[in-house]
Every structure is written in structure tokens, then in C-alpha cells.
């Protein structure tokens, strides 16, 4: 029997795979697009993400554990779906490579300005290859270990509580030059990654869907803690004018046993970036593997990583990466909603087809 992913493992996995690098800009994004007390927007996005997760959970229950490929291709021929599978795969590979490249750009600016980016890309690619070879169960176990390396970094922010002041929040809510639609897309991108869980159906234990909600609650809690501390530590104008407010927060963190907290935290955060990158590559591998089953999984891994490597080397600046990330994130948000809806539509058709012969027989 194949090993199955249990709910506890999945809860940590779902937190780990969400786009963690967006956390470093989240306070500024919420202030820029939602105005004063913009951190409250995270609660609204949390509700939207839960609706999205509910659709995935319902798809699993109605499909009785079948993979989405079995569900879809029972109604729609595979050759019709191939262009859509290709599009989703390209978006996920592109998103993985751009998230990785953004981290590398920031790392180079902060610590290694003269070191060629290709060395960092090779390092991430080799780690990705080793993890992808083990399959989703081994990926999950590895990411759980990385979770316990990353999560203690959040504790350092509590050292800033003496400087925290509720007066900085102001009594006004969502006032300023706001753009709620763009803001929703930007904040939602911080929750991306969990949509790949729609491919987990054949690999999980029964009653696993609660893990989706627990993982999302964990992510939301971290986002709320950090944005609240930011809004209570900086003035509103300071948040707007700081490209990476969370990094600045860590700079102000004074701990006797750590000399440069911001450097340590950002380096350790490479594991969070790796987690997000890995799960998108794995999702693309599953889609390619379903399209052409005769090709061995390791061959697909090499092809996907080669594409990801080339894409990661293409941007010349951090600004180029951000443009690509905005486009790919918006596409991924569309996929996150469209794919479960499409699966649910197929399941509805299949359920209706099963009922129709019974009703005909009953009428006779």
C-alpha cells in the first residue's frame, strides 16, 4: 500500500507551501492599497481563501477520492484538456522560478552583490531535484522539518512589543489612496500555493480536508501578527515608504544572542521559498505526467527544472521579476478558482447522468 499524507502533516505542509516571500512586503501592500488599518484586509482575504478551500474539499468528497484527472476526463476528452494542462503547468513553473529569483535578487543586494546569480539558481535547482525525486510524501516530511526551522523566527518580533503603540493604528479604517481590487489580488498572492492541493486527492488519508483550513488559519495568524506589529511599530507613512517593512522590523530587533536578526531570518527564510517552489514544480510534474504517461517521472522533473532554470535566469532586475510575479500571480489566482469550479461542474454532470437512468426506470 502507498503511504498516505495524514492531516497533521498536511496542516504544516499547507502553511509551508504558501507564498511566504510576500510576507516581507505585506504590511506595505495592505497600507498602500487598503489605507489606514489596512491589516484588517487580511481577514477579508482569509474568508475568500476559505471559500476557495471549501470548493476543493467539496470536490474531494463528491469525487470520492478520485484524482481530478479521473473526474475531468470522465466527462471531457483528454486531448481537449491538454492545452489547459499546459497553461496551468507553465504558470506554476513560471511562478516557482520567479519567486525563487526574487529571493535571489534580494539576497544578492543584501549579502553577495558581486556573486553571480547563477550559483544561487543552481543551488535551488539541485535541492529541488533531490526533493522532487522522493515524491510528495517525502517532500511533505522534508518541508515539515523546514517548518520547524523557520517558524521560531516569528518569536523574535515579540521583542519589539515595548516599542509597540496602539495610537499608531489611528481610528480611521481604509482611508487614503485605496484600490481594493488591486489590493485584494496582491494580498491574495500571499496565500497562493494551497491551490496545488487539488492534486493531492490520491495521496491523502480520509478526512484530510480539515488540514486545509488549519494550514490557512496558521498562515493568516502569522500574517496578522506581523502586519499588526508593523502598524503598531511604524507610522502609516513609514510603512508606505519602506519597500520591505518586515525586514526593517527585524533590523530593530535587539536580542542578546543574535547580532543581526534580519540577516539570519532572511537566510533561514530560504527554506520557505524552497517549499513554495517545490510544490509548484511538483504540481507541474503531475500535470505533465498525466498528459504523457509513457515518460518516466524523473525525466519530467529534469525537463521542468530545466525550464525553471532558464526562466529564473531571464530577468535582469528586481523590477522585471515583480512585473512577471504580478502577471503570474493573477493567472494563478484565476486557476485557484477556475479549476475547482470546473471539477465541481464535471462532478455535477456525472451525478446527474447517474440519476437519470434510475428516474427513467422508475417512470417505466
Total residues found in the chain within this entry: 364
Examine residue 331 and state whether it is found in any structural domain, yes or no. Answer: yes
Is 356 exposed, middle or buried, given 0-12, 13-18 or 19+ CB atoms closer than 10 A?
Answer: exposed
Per-residue pLDDT, 187: 92
Per-residue pLDDT, 259: 66
Examine residue 94 and state whether it is found in any structural domain, yes or no. Answer: yes
φ/ψ (deg, to 5) at 66: -70, 150
Examine residue 1 and state whether it is found in any structural domain, yes or no. Answer: no
- Total count of domains within the chain: 1
Q: Which tens digits make up the pLDDT trace of 38-53?
A: 889 999 999 999 999 9
Q: Which tens digits make up the pLDDT trace of 249-293?
A: 888 877 666 667 777 778 888 888 888 999 999 999 999 999 988
Is 211 exposed, middle or buried, given 0-12, 13-18 or 19+ CB atoms closer than 10 A?
Answer: buried
What is the number of alpha carbons within 13 Å of residue 175 lying toward its C-beta?
7
Helix or strand (DSSP H, E) at 41: helix 41-63
Residue 34, domain CATH:
1.20.1740.10
Determine which of 25-34, 121-130, 152-161, 255-264 has the lowest per-residue pLDDT on average: 255-264
Residue owning grid cell 532554470: 309
**Dihedral sign from CA coordinates of 336, 267, 130, 98:** positive
Examine residue 53 and state whether it is found in any structural domain, yes or no. Answer: yes
Q: Please tell me what DSSP assigns to residue 206.
A: T
Q: What is the residue range of 216's domain?
A: 7-363
Per-residue pLDDT, 361: 54
CA 52 to chain centre: 13
Per-residue pLDDT, 38: 87
Q: Please tell me what DSSP assigns to residue 5.
A: B
Examine residue 281 and state whether it is found in any structural domain, yes or no. Answer: yes
- Rounded to whole angstroms, the Cα distance separating 359 from 364 reads 9
Examine residue 54 and state whether it is found in any structural domain, yes or no. Answer: yes
Across 232-243, average pLDDT = 88
- Rounded to whole angstroms, the Cα distance separating 288 from 293 reads 8
Examine residue 357 and state whether it is found in any structural domain, yes or no. Answer: yes
Per-residue pLDDT, 51: 94
Of 87, 51, 84, residue with least CA distance to 69: 84
Amino acid at each position: 500500500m502507498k503511504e498516505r499524507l495524514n492531516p497533521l502533516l498536511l496542516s504544516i505542509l499547507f502553511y509551508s507551501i504558501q507564498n511566504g516571500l510576500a510576507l516581507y512586503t505585506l504590511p506595505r501592500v495592505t497600507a498602500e492599497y487598503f489605507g489606514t488599518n489596512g491589516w484588517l484586509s487580511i481577514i477579508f482575504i482569509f474568508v475568500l481563501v476559505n471559500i476557495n478551500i471549501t470548493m476543493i474539499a467539496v470536490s474531494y468528497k463528491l469525487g470520492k477520492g478520485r484524482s481530478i484527472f479521473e473526474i475531468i476526463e470522465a466527462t471531457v476528452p483528454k486531448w481537449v484538456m491538454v492545452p489547459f494542462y499546459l497553461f496551468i503547468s507553465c504558470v506554476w513553473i513560471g511562478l516557482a522560478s520567479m519567486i525563487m529569483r526574487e529571493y535571489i535578487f534580494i539576497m544578492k543586494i543584501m549579502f553577495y552583490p558581486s556573486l553571480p546569480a547563477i550559483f544561487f539558481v543552481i543551488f535551488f535547482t539541485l535541492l529541488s531535484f533531490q526533493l522532487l525525486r522522493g515524491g510528495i510524501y517525502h517532500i511533505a516530511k522534508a518541508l515539515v522539518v523546514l517548518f520547524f526551522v523557520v517558524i521560531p523566527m516569528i518569536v523574535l518580533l515579540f521583542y519589539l512589543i515595548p516599542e509597540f503603540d496602539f495610537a499608531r493604528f489611528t481610528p480611521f479604517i481604509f482611508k487614503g489612496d485605496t484600490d481594493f481590487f488591486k489590493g485584494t489580488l496582491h494580498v491574495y498572492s500571499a496565500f497562493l500555493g494551497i491551490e496545488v492541493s487539488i492534486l493531492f486527492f490520491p495521496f491523502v488519508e480520509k478526512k484530510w480536508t480539515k488540514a486545509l483550513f488549519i494550514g490557512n488559519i496558521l498562515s493568516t495568524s502569522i500574517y496578522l501578527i506581523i502586519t499588526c506589529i508593523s502598524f503598531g511599530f511604524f507610522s502609516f507613512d513609514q510603512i508606505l515608504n519602506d519597500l520591505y517593512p518586515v525586514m526593517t522590523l527585524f533590523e530593530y530587533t535587539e536580542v542578546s544572542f543574535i547580532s543581526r536578526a534580519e540577516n539570519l531570518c532572511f537566510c533561514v527564510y530560504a527554506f520557505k521559498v524552497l517549499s513554495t517552489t517545490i510544490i509548484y514544480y511538483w504540481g507541474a510534474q503531475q500535470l505533465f505526467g498525466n498528459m504523457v504517461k509513457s515518460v518516466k517521472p524523473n525525466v519530467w522533473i529534469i525537463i521542468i527544472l530545466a525550464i525553471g532554470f532558464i526562466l529564473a535566469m531571464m530577468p535582469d532586475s528586481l523590477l522585471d521579476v515583480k512585473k512577471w510575479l504580478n502577471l503570474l500571480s493573477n493567472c494563478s489566482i484565476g486557476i485557484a478558482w477556475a479549476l475547482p469550479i470546473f471539477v465541481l461542474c464535471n462532478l455535477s454532470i456525472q451525478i446527474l447522468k447517474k440519476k437519470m437512468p434510475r428516474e427513467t426506470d422508475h417512470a417505466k
